[in-house]
Amino acid sequence: MTSTATAELCDTNQRLVKSGEVRVLEPIFKIYGHSHIFSGPVVTLKVFEDNVIVREVLETKGEGRVLVIDGGGSQRCALLGGNLAQLAHNMSWAGIIVNGCVRDVDEINITDIGVRAIGSNPLKSNKRGIGEKNIPVSMGGTLIFPGEWLYADSDGVIISKNELTV
């Protein structure tokens, strides 16, 4: 995990920003979790109001990766709660980005993991097990591919085709 600021990464890698190899997500995500700075290779999920596959993935070793969940922007229920955030921390995930909602915000905020989501909702999700893993997902105004790198801090979230250096 890097502690380099996203602004510094963008400034240092302006050529990659201009070419589209480094993309900045639109500032639609709220900050949750105790770790406000996190980074790592991306694992993607596409689900809709169903978090069974979210749990399945978080039960695997994270090895410093970041789970990017495209929940279709739904704000009708939460895809991640306190128990799953703690599981992610225990399994060594660096962070989670949710194009949807979280719940148990107070629990998530004391868990040593980085989380970004578009909001919170106290309703839990459906449990049908429907969704797709490791596919390109679209959120925050950009397409995100499995294996790309995600960097997040208080300034925002950036995606890079490769690991960045300053």
Residues making up the annotated binding site are 81-84, 103-104
Does residue 58 sit in helix, strand or coil? helix
Paired sense of beta strands 66-70 and 137-139, if any: unpaired
Residue 133's DSSP bridge partners are: 45
Rounded CA separation 100/131 (Å): 14
Annotated binding-site ranges for Mg(2+) = 104
Q: Which residues make Cβ contacts (< 8 Å) with residue 86, sequence separation at least 6? A: 107, 111
Annotated binding-site ranges for substrate = 81-84, 103
